[in-house]
Amino acid sequence: MTLRVLFLLFCAMITRYSAMAQIEVGGVYFPSITVISQGDDSETPYINNKLTFAGGLGSTFGYNFNENFAFTTGILYASHNQKIEASATVNDSTWGIYNGKKRLDYLKVPLQLRYKSSGGGAVSFYGFAGPQIAFLLKADGATVTYQHYPNNGTYYFDLPAASNSYYTPVLFELSAGFGTEFQLAPDLFLQTGLKFDMALNNTEKKSGFEEKFYRQTGHAYDRHDSRNYSMNLMLGFVYRLPGANDLSHPHGKAKHNGIKYK
C-alpha cells in the first residue's frame, strides 16, 4: 500500500468524522478559592497561607466527536490571590501578627477531554479532565520572607514587593471537574460546574528569589516547594453551531444538539 493511498484514506477518515462532529463556542466566568501551598510546614513555621477569594473569565472552544465525547480548550484570564499571615519579631523586638497579600495573574489554556451523559433531554451531566498551561502575566502585592536562624533570640521578616522575576513564568497544571448542562434553546446551553486546578511545578522561581532578594539581604534562602491550587465555580454559556455539523444518531434517527427527532 503506497503512501498516497494511506494519505487518501486518512483524508477520507478525517472528512467522515468532521462531518459527524460539532463545533461549539462559549464564554465562562468563574469565582475561585485559591491558595499557594507551603510545602513542608516545618520550613515555614511562622507563615500561614490562607484560602483566598479570586476569579477569572474567558472564552471557550469545543470539538464534539460524538454525542458523548468532546475536546475542549479556551483562553482564560485567571487571578490567583494569596493572603498571608506572618507571626514574627521585627527589628525593634516587637512581636506581632503581620498580614500581607499577593496577586498573580495568569493566562490559562486548558486542553481537556469531556464526557457528557446521553439521553437527549434538556439536562445532562458531564465530567472533564486534562492538562492546562498557565502563563504568568503580572505579580503584585507582597511576599513574606524571613530568615530561619535566630539573631539575638529573635526571627526577622520582610515584605518585599512582588515581582514577576520571583515567580515561574509558565506553570504546567492538571485540571479536572464536573458539572450540569441545561438546554436553553436548540443550540444554546447553560453550563454550571466545579473545576479543580493543581500546578505540577513551583509557583516561586527559586533562582529569582535567591538572586533578587536573599543575596541582597543576607537572609537564609527558603528552599521549600510551592504549588498553586484552586477550586473554581464555573458559570458559562455554550453555543453549538447548527447545520451540517449536527450529530448523527447511531441507529439512523437524527439528533440535533442532544434532542432526538423521529
For 73, 92, 134, 147, the CA distances from 111, given in Å and listed in that order, are 5, 51, 11, 40
Residue 19, classed as helix, strand or coil, is: helix
How would you label 215-225 residue by residue, b for 16+ Cβ within 10 Å and e otherwise?
eeeebeebebe
Q: Rounded CA gap, 55 and 75, in Å?
A: 14
**First and final CA of the chain: distance in angstroms?**
42
* 84 and 99 Cβ atoms separated by less than 8 Å: yes
Q: pLDDT (tens digit, 9 = 90+) per residue, 31-63?
A: 999 998 876 544 455 567 788 899 999 999 999
Asked if 49 and 80 touch (Cβ cutoff 8 Å), the reply is no
Q: Residue 32: count other Cβ atoms within 10 Å of its Cβ.
A: 20
By percentage, how much of the chain surpasses pLDDT 90? 43
Mean pLDDT across 93-110:
80
Alpha helices in 21-116 (DSSP H): none
Name which residue leads in pLDDT, 186 or 208: 186
Contact, 30 vs 56, CB < 8 A? yes
pLDDT tens per residue across span 137-172: 998 876 555 544 455 544 445 555 677 878 899 999
Domains, the chain, ranges and CATH? 22-261 (2.40.160.20)
Q: Coil, helix or strand for 188?
A: strand
Q: Mean of the pLDDT values across residues 115-128?
A: 88
